[in-house]
Amino acid sequence: MARAQVSKVKKDRRITWKEVKRQKALLIISFFMVVYGFIFYYLPLTGWVMAFQNYKPKNGLLGSKFIGLDKFKFLFSDATFIKVIRNTFCMGALNLLTTTLMAILFAILLNEIRNSVVKKTIQTVSYLPHFLSWIIVTGILHDALSSTGIINDLLMRAGIIKQAINFFAHTQYFWPIVAFANCWKETGWNAIIYLAAITSIDPCLYEAASIDGAGRLAKIRYITLPGIKPTIIILLLMNVGNVLNAGFEVQYLLGNGLVQSVSQTIDIYVLKWGISQNDYSLGTAAGIFKSAVSIALIMLSNAWAKRAGEERLF
């Protein structure tokens, strides 16, 4: 029986003229999809050559002079770029950590609410910020933190500060502001998946725990948390590969000259050098560095996932 199935599968995979004719429609669609994917996703990779050239638009990719690793050497001797790497990593890690913790906390506490109308209402409210663009989110955040904004207002009324703080002028506030912005926008959205994981926990476990006299806190600690642990690990690992990608919009929109040393990320650096200063080679080199680190992080997290006994990511 098993052998028959294997041979059937093998037969299906064999490319025969008859099959080609039968699957003509699929093959035609695939052809266009591959052409499209090749142009828009694979062709830009040839641009990586620029990183090893002193690229001049008038000479083109083939005519520009090769200079080896000079652009990379320049990057790593540039004190600004070292800071940029630090900023990208630290903000990415801080965001990942805070948004994950907030989402888990929110999901667990929301799950404890018995009244389904209240629960549904809170959840609907919680999705709202996800649907707003970063333009809007940074705009209202800017309002809230301005000298006449609600935060300064509250702090002064509470007597904690005497004078309004200009939050966007001091470097020490920038990373927490970015982390808060991410939490504000995505907590409800990220909690969806954890809530789904909590729902799939066997209710018998909770009943059994009740009979044994466990309180709600104990149930959260010994049933809910272990129950969603695989989801937490998988999502964390999936997002580790994206840490470097999460560093553009907020930083670009909220950053200013005063906090530049902590707000600039790799993407902003690429934009500044590559597009504004027209140094395509340097911009590409910085982009390659980012891609390489991202792929390394993905492979690393994949290996971790395997060791942790979880599903592999891809």
Partner 1 sequence: MKKNKIKHTFGDRVLSFIIALFMIAFVIITLYPVLNTVAISFNDGIDAVRGGIYLWPRKFAIKNYTTVLGMQNLVIGAKITVARTVIGTVSALVVNALLAYVVSRKRFMFKRELSLFWVITMYVNGGMIPTFMLYRNLGLTNSFWVYVVPGMISAWNMLVIRTYMTGLPDSLEESAQLDGAGYWTIFVKIISPLCKPVYATIALFVAVAQWNSWFDAMLYNRMKTEYTTLQYELMKLLSSVMQQSGSAASAKYSTAAVTPITIRAAATVVTMLPIICLYPFLQRYFVTGLTIGGVKE
Which residues within the stretch 184-223 sit at the binding site for partner 1 (CB under 8 A)? 184, 187-189, 192-193, 196, 210, 215-217
What part of residues 132-191 is at the interface with partner 1 (CB under 8 A)?
132-136, 138-144, 146-150, 153, 184, 187-189
Asked whether 54 and 64 are in contact (CB, 8 A), the reply is yes
What whole-number distance in Å separates Cα of residue 107 and Cα of residue 35? Answer: 43
- Contact residue for partner 1 among 6, 34, 69, 97 (CB under 8 A): 34
- Cβ at position 193, least distance to partner 1 in Å: 5
In the block, tokens 């996800």 appear at 130
- Contact residue for partner 1 among 6, 7, 30, 76 (CB under 8 A): 30
Site string for partner 1, 246-285 (x = CB under 8 A): --xx---x--x----------x--xx--xx----x--xx-
Q: What is the DSSP string of 283-302?
A: HHHHHHHHHHHHHHHHHHHH
- Cβ at position 157, least distance to partner 1 in Å: 11
- Cβ at position 25, least distance to partner 1 in Å: 4
Task: Calculate the dihedral angle through the C-alpha atoms of 221, 224, 225, 226, rounding to the nearest 10 degrees.
Answer: 100
What part of residues 56-95 is at the interface with partner 1 (CB under 8 A)?
none
Q: What is the DSSP string of 217-276?
A: HHHIIIIIHHHHHHHHHHHHHHHHTTGGGG-SHHHHHH--GGGHHHH--HHHHHIIIIII
- Cβ at position 77, least distance to partner 1 in Å: 21
DSSP run (H or E) holding 65? strand 65-66
∠ at Cα 43 (42, 44), nearest 5°? 95
- Cβ at position 115, least distance to partner 1 in Å: 11
Q: Which is nearer to partner 1, 87 or 255 (CB)?
A: 255
Find the helix packing angle between 171-199 and 116-127, rounded to 10°: 140
What part of residues 39-58 is at the interface with partner 1 (CB under 8 A)?
39-48, 50
- Contact residue for partner 1 among 93, 165, 201, 313 (CB under 8 A): 313
- Cβ at position 82, least distance to partner 1 in Å: 20
